[in-house]
A = this chain, B = another copy of it.
Amino acid sequence: MKDVAARAGVGLKTVSRVVNSEPGVTPDTERRVQEAIESLGFRRNDSARVLRKGRTASIGLVLEDLADPFYGALSRAVEEVARAHGTLLINGSSAEDPDREQELALAFCARRVDGLIVIPAGDDHRYLEPEIKAGIATVFVDRPAGRIDADTVLSDSFGGARAGVAHLIAHGHRRIGFIGDRPRIHTAVERLRGYRTAMADEGLAVSDSWVSLGTTAPERVRAAMLGMLTGPEPVTAVFAGNNRVTVTVVRVLAEQTRRVALVGFDDIELADLLGITVIAQDSAALGRTAAEQLFRRLDGVEEKPVRVALRTMLIPRGSGEIPPS
């Protein structure tokens, strides 16, 4: 910038004005500066700018795994909102590891992102308190924050699972399995609660052998599913706790001769062709809503922490309407 000023024969501040298209520069001077910029290939150093202004025009998003289509879509929605606000997005995948979540979130804070959107992996977010106090707006999505009070945008996991299981019951099932994510994960617990409530609503007892929580690794899910299909009280239907689980369950069921009903949480690409009945949640809406709330905070809106729950939708496609065998 100094060089540009020298070359254009003007002061430093004048270059700054031109670069930021601030008013108060003669068209003629502006042209000279522009030429100098061009010929020197000058590009403003945003780091220095940030240091001065305090705002980085960037936000951070900590999610579980960008390779999961659910989070990919969510991230993209956040990016669109950020873009509309002239803001860049930094992504980080926690791989469902609380330490890594914290490491990422704090790294983002050290870069002085203006705001943070977090899909929690851990259940204690007190480590963010000083950052939030220091002015980094924070919104939690998909799962609630642990041990701090903050803006949160969720899907209605409980209601969705309950509706899905009720759907299976309505189609005549009595022995229904539930395969979900690890019990540390809030959505897994909520969906299990939805399952139990739906069963209780109809006065159905739940056998321990019908419920399995754990990682979404294919081997684990496969074993759980096979376990429920054998034994003294084999299930005639399953509720899959999320898209990763559904994918594996569909594969296992495809190998069976007996027809087993299935409803899965989360929609999946091509699920329509495979006839998979799902409880769809709108991952893009989740991201969009969270981002909008974040920018509302960045615009200075002061209100007590907001909690939004987005509705889910039951999409019947066949697998959930198979009668008990």
Contact = CB atoms under 8 A, between A and B. Distances in A.
Given A247-B269, A269-B269, A269-B270, A43 B89 contact: no
A14 interface: no
Interface string A49-79: 0110000101000000111110111011001
Nearest to A103: B83
Contacts of A274: 270, 273-274
A184 interface: no
Contacts of A108: 88
B269 A46 contact: no
Given A270-B274, A273-B274, 11 more contacts: A41-B133, A41-B134, A47-B56, A48-B51, A65-B76, A72-B72, A89-B90, A89-B91, A268-B270, A270-B271, A274-B274
A112 B45 contact: yes
Could you tell me the dominant secondary structure of chain A's interface residues? helix
Contact of A66 (B44, B79, B131, B268): B79
Interface in A102-148: 106-112, 130-131, 133-134
A34 interface: no
Contacts of A111: 46-47, 58, 88
B89 A92 contact: yes
Given A69-B67, A89-B90, A110 B44 contact: yes
Contacts of A31: none
B51 A79 contact: no
A200 interface: no
A126 to B, nearest CB: 12
A260 to B, nearest CB: 15
B79 A46 contact: no
Most buried by B among A69, A73, A133, A273: A273
Assembly stoichiometry (copies):
2
Interface string A224-241: 000000000000000000
A272 B274 CA distance: 11
A16 interface: no
A72 B68 CA distance: 7
A121 B111 CA distance: 29
A85 interface: no
Contacts of A112: 45-47
A67 B288 CA distance: 13
A311 interface: no
Contact of A93 (B50, B79, B269): B79
A237 to B, nearest CB: 19
A213 interface: no
Given A51-B47, A110-B46, A76 B67 contact: yes
A50 B111 CA distance: 9
A71 B67 CA distance: 8
Contacts of A106: 43
